[in-house]
Amino acid sequence: MALSGVRVLELAGLAPAPLCGMILADFGARVVRVDRTTHSAMATDVQGRGKRSLALDLKRPAGAAVLRRLCRGADVLIEPFRHGVLSKLGRKDENPYAPLNLLADFAGGGVMCAMGIVSALYERTRSGKGQVIDASMVEGVAYLSSFLWKSQKLGLWNRPRGENLLDSGAPFYETYKTSDGKYMAVGAIEPQFYEQLIKGLNLDSDELPSQLSFSDWPEMKKKFASIFAQKTQAEWCSIFDGTDACVTPVLSFDDVASHQHNKQRSSFIKNDQEEISPRPAPLLSRTPAVPSFKRDPFIGEHTEEILLEYGFTEQEITKLYSDKVIEFGKPKANL
């Protein structure tokens, strides 16, 4: 895979750092998650796919020393703490809407961090030098929203919130409830797509106001809502499937993986525990990601294996364990 041979240390945290580590693991990197020992509280990482776990008490000097030694053998260190924390260890009832933590935590944080890491690894092949990637979720989201900043002069965002083209102000860019309590998403911005929407709703465009008549948008939204409420989601799908109306069902988790589009592209995968998750993206033609199908690691499951791999002796490991600097987390047998 593209990142085969790259060694990554990920200090356990929440949301952005685990996603970043999972992306690198999906594309071939050997990712070690440095977990807190169990006598320290730690939330479960549901993004542990393809990682191994080493349980280490970083608050103790011996634990910090172990981490510094691990870093000497790694290519990448991912740390999720506030600025200054790591330096102590040795270096400095409404319609559906998008889950907003996807923007900051995952897109602005995890994905941007992964992009920065890959960029730095590529640059290292020329300079032979490493560097620090400072991935700020706030700045990451700002960068993702470049279109919003650079399109302000186009008149797309000059009205109050909720009254603009792309923020649910337009009747043709909204979600509508169906008669069976489900929803349809509408994104028919281009005139030719809007015409298909109007046709599917069994309306006559000659009897309607102009598509971009802002003053008529509130009434048009009411009209569209009343029409969508007359049929089930399945009925609307049968009307709009195969058209360019940009009208699609808002799917539940259970329905997404079985949707025909996703089935044809094999967009979702199952691990050994039959848990469904999205396939890594983007899809590389020669060296595609091959995600692990094993269960996520238990905290400390690979502590001894990893330390031996990084050059620690059996005696050193035994001493660290007796001093409670590290822990071993072996899976329990299912009897």
Cα separation, 266 vs 260, whole angstroms: 10
Helices and strands, counts by H and E, the chain = 13, 10
pLDDT, tens digit, for every residue of 120-143? Answer: 998 898 899 988 989 898 898 888
With a pLDDT cut of 70, the percent of the chain lying above it is 91
Q: Do the domain assignments include residue 281?
A: no
- Which of 225, 250, 275 lies at the terminal end of a domain, its last residue? 250
Residue type, 307: L
Q: Do the domain assignments include residue 287?
A: no
Domain CATH number, residue 107: 3.40.50.10540
In this prediction, residue 332 has a pLDDT band, given cuts at 50, 70 and 90, of low
Q: Catalytic residue among 105, 204, 254, 255, which?
A: 105
DSSP conformational letter for 258: T
Angle 111-285-107 from CA coordinates, rounded to 5°: 10
Cα separation, 66 vs 41, whole angstroms: 20
Domain match, 1 and 138 both: yes
Query: Which residue has tokens 């979720």?
Result: 137
- Residue 62 is part of which domain span? 1-144+296-335
Domain match, 178 and 95 both: no
Burial class from Cβ neighbours inside 10 Å (0-12, 13-18, 19+) for residue 71 reads middle
pLDDT, tens digit, for every residue of 14-61? Answer: 778 888 888 889 878 899 999 988 754 444 667 788 899 999 998 889
Does 160 score more than 90 pLDDT? no
Cα separation, 35 vs 192, whole angstroms: 54
Number of domains into which the chain is organized: 2
Q: Is 45 a catalytic residue?
A: no
Alpha helices in 158-259 (DSSP H): 191-200, 217-228, 233-240, 253-256
DSSP conformational letter for 206: G
Domain CATH number, residue 244: 3.30.1540.10
CB 60 within 8 A of CB 325: yes
- Provide the residue count of the chain: 335
Helices 112-127 and 137-144: angle between axes, nearest 10 degrees? 90
Domain match, 126 and 209 both: no
Cα separation, 289 vs 293, whole angstroms: 12
The model's pTM: 0.67
Residue type, 319: K
* Residue 234 structure tokens: 């399945």
Domain match, 72 and 208 both: no
pLDDT, tens digit, for every residue of 232-255? Answer: 999 999 999 999 999 999 998 889
